Amino acid sequence: MRKLISIFLPASLLLAACNAPAASGDGLKVVASTTIVGDVVAQVGGDLIELTVLFPTGADPHTFDPRPQDIAAISDARVVFISGLGLEESLQPALDANATGTVVQVSDGIDVRTLDNAAQINDPHGHENVDPHTWTDPNNVIVWTRNIAATLAKADPAHADTYRANTDAYIASLRELDAWIRSEVAQIPPERRKLVTDHYAFGYFADEYGFEQVGALVGSFSTNASPSAQEIAALEDAIRAQNVPAVFVGTTVNSTLAEQVAQDTGSKIVSVYTGSLTAPGGEAGSYLVFMRYNVNAIVNALN
């Protein structure tokens, strides 16, 4: 893998916004695609925005199909925030047909990862060369935050100072998170920093914090792909050869294949969160908590 292209607001704010039409009122009508995007938008927008999050808690962003209420929210919104880089491809026709406001990819400006060899993967949607999982590195979410703030300030210039203050506070929390991750990862001997995942969702995390991606059950950036028997056999050989102790599987993914690989190789399955938060107060109730949960799971499994 390589790189090619170069205080907190209450969590209840996001819960109230999820899976419901934007409330009537004077706030700027804003839509976010995933719960992760929505959480970051909420940190910047605060009570100045009326936020609707399209994807339900626990939804796989690679396979979500918009519902009638989602179409209505998109049509009413002044701004629609998506993660971008092909993550929400199933949502794109609805955006093209119904968005009347500005559609913003929050990942704009991030150094995008690709797979070295496109033949290694099986992605039927044509996004095989681009990794959309930018949020697994909080330094990328700093870019998200600035993009969101700039967009909201442009749409609502009277409150630009408030958006800026919220942004500064949240970026400070993201920098604190980054420092904490580095201290936690330092507990793992370098030779044990090896990741096997259900799909290639942790590349930005691996690049930033010194992990090797040994392989994935589905050799794609999307969960909506199928491995061959030969690919699974090769992955199992790599797990055995490199003595990888764990397979990290997202909570939105069917674990049947992971269970078979774990049984064949003697590794264990460890659950992580990839494309969705939980409800507020849960194991991954905000982006910051989501990242801390995953880092703890990875450190405990590999240390």
pLDDT, position 222: 52
Find the largest Cα–Cα distance for the chain: 60
Q: What is the mean pLDDT of the chain?
A: 86
Helix (H) or strand (E) holding 247: strand 246-250
**Mean pLDDT calculated for residue range 98-109:** 97
Residue 10 pLDDT greater than 80, yes or no? no
**Mean pLDDT calculated for residue range 23-47:** 90
Least confident of 20-24, 88-92, 129-133, 280-284: 20-24
pLDDT, tens only, 142-151: 999 999 999 9
In order of 150, 186, 201, 212, the CA distances from 294 in angstroms are 29, 15, 12, 16
pLDDT, tens only, 169-200: 999 999 999 999 999 999 999 999 999 998 88
pLDDT, position 199: 86
Rounded CA-CA distance 95/173 in Å is 32
CB 249 within 8 A of CB 60: no
Distance of CA 148 to the CA centre of its chain: 16
Identify the residue with better confidence: 262 or 117. Answer: 262
Helix (H) or strand (E) holding 2: strand 2-3
pLDDT, position 16: 38
Residue 92 pLDDT greater than 60, yes or no? yes
How is residue 252 annotated by DSSP?
T
Identify the residue with better confidence: 112 or 25. Answer: 112
Domains annotated for the chain, with CATH where assigned, are 2-178 (3.40.50.1980), 189-302 (3.40.50.1980)
Helix (H), strand (E), coil (C) string for 221-263? CCCCCCCCHHHHHHHHHHHHHCCCCEEEEECCCCCHHHHHHHH
Residue 121 pLDDT greater than 60, yes or no? no
Based on its alpha-carbon atoms, the radius of gyration of the chain, rounded to whole angstroms, reads 19
Residue 5 pLDDT greater than 70, yes or no? no
Beta strand pairing status for 28-32 and 79-82?
parallel
Phi, psi torsion values for 188, nearest 5 degrees: -90, 125
Rounded CA-CA distance 200/34 in Å is 18
Confidence of residue 252 (pLDDT cuts 50, 70, 90): confident
Residue 93 pLDDT greater than 70, yes or no? yes
pLDDT, position 261: 94
Dihedral of CA atoms 177, 9, 156, 18 in degrees, nearest 10, equals 100
Residue 118 pLDDT greater than 90, yes or no? no
Residue 21 pLDDT greater than 50, yes or no? no
Helix (H) or strand (E) holding 194: strand 194-199
